[in-house]
Structure 1
Amino acid sequence: MMPILILAAGASSRMRGADKLLLDVGGMSLLRRQASMALEVSTDVRIALPPRPHPRYDVVQDLDVQTIEVTDAAQGMSASLRALFATLEPEQSHAMVLLGDLPDLINEDLRAVMSATTQYPDAMIWRGATQTGKGGHPMVVSRSIFKEFQMLEGDSGGNSIIANHDDAVYLVPLVGNRARQDLDTPEDWAAWRVGRSSSNAPR
């Protein structure tokens, strides 16, 4: 079973005091929604979380997931990626990286990107993308570059690795802007909720 690695150790620094991963989406916190969605696709879900104690642990404590405490989470996204990729066992040939703050993704999106690894096996990175071709998440990477994620520095996430292997990236178009629709500020959330309300989508 392909592991799904959820990045959820960030500080929500642009939310002016609120924690975006604890905000309600469809009757549950965004983090719990992402973890539950991942569990519909894989039995191996690992979540990078800030140092304990932190309320994010509470919203997933009853789910069958592995929580990874990122003690150096303040260093940025690379710290979470390093911690998550360090947990992978030698027999695992691929791993999916999923951002914790993409509220429009659905389990079919995760399955579509996973399936691409079989359909296009010569790639090394398979990414969800917008319908206009902009790369986003979820993202699956092959074992051949796991080590690069374990050595990441800074807060650019895996962008440098993706750039280094640009000729081995396969984009999987997903509906609309689901692959990139993150919500970083209160204004982002307000606009998103208005859009969801006008489309009669569950909030």
Structure 2
Amino acid sequence: MIAGVVLAAGGGGRFGSDKRQARLPDGRTLLEASLSAFIGQVDELALVLPPEDAFGLALCRQLALRPLRCDRHRGGMGHSLACGAAWALSLPDCRGMVLGLGDMPAVKPLTVSQIAAALWRGQPVLPCHLGRAGHPRGLPASCLAGLLDLNGDAGARDAVDWSQALRLELDDLGVLLDIDREADLSGLA
């Protein structure tokens, strides 16, 4: 089984407000659009959220996702990643985890499916578009324990040897497009 984890517990300080709730041209929220690529492409899907996040919890209920409350989310992305890795490791027969970001609304579902399928090879999976590495990333089960002690702004780049990754060249510009500032939304129109 392949798990999916989407990180959405960050503060989004550069955006100026809760960017997860920003409306896209199609009417969906940024977070809803980012999650849509994962629905039906992985066996289990969880969303890492800050505690007491009414918006995130409502979205989890609506989409039948597992909410993962990260009490230490203000300490940096490393804590959120460790939370997601611990959940994936708790799943019976988990062979790996597709790790997504809650601010990447243009990733195609086929991309998530291809990353999940490639994880069965047992090595990290790095999606690329025109040679540039992006997200979501595939982490085999053998890498997950190494993520449990992450903290601060340390991410998987600090715990995984990406030089050993399977590089998937994909026709998906969405693997490179993340929304950090409100002006970035104009690129989605």
CA distance in 2, matches of 1:134, 1:73: 28
**Are 2:142 and 1:140 aligned?**
no
Matches within 5 A, 1:176-187: 177-187=173-183
Looking at CA atoms only, which structure, 1 or 2, has the larger radius of gyration?
Answer: 1
Distance 1:166 1:33, change over 3 A: closer
CA distance in 2, matches of 1:129, 1:12: 25
- Name the residue aligned to 2:110: 108
**Which ranges of structure 1 fall in alignment gaps of 5 or more residues?**
197-203
CA distance in 2, matches of 1:127, 1:105: 14
**Are 2:36 and 1:36 aligned?**
yes
- Alpha-carbon RMSD across the aligned residues, in angstroms, is 1.8
Q: 1:35-94 CA distances to partner (integer Å, 9 max, x unpaired)? A: 333122124111000110442222332221100011110011111111111112252111
* Secondary structure of the structure 2 residue equivalent to 1:116: helix
Matches within 5 A, 1:78-93: 78-88=78-88, 89-93=91-95
Contact 1:113 1:126 in 2 (8 A): yes
Contact 1:102 1:179 in 2 (8 A): yes
Distance 1:53 1:137, change over 3 A: closer
CA distance in 1, matches of 2:123, 2:152: 22
Q: TM-score, normalised by structure 1?
A: 0.84
CA distance in 2, matches of 1:43, 1:176: 22
CA distance in 2, matches of 1:53, 1:104: 24
Identity of aligned residues (%): 22
- Name the residue aligned to 2:156: 158
Contact 1:22 1:56 in 2 (8 A): no
**Which ranges of structure 2 fall in alignment gaps of 5 or more residues?**
none
- Name the residue aligned to 2:70: 70
CA distance in 1, matches of 2:146, 2:119: 19
- Name the residue aligned to 2:99: 97
Counterpart AA for 1:20:
K
* Secondary structure of the structure 2 residue equivalent to 1:154: coil
* Secondary structure of the structure 2 residue equivalent to 1:27: coil
* Secondary structure of the structure 2 residue equivalent to 1:104: coil
Paired residue total:
186
Matching residue within 160, 184, 189 for 1:188: 184
CA distance in 2, matches of 1:174, 1:116: 13
Counterpart AA for 1:12:
G
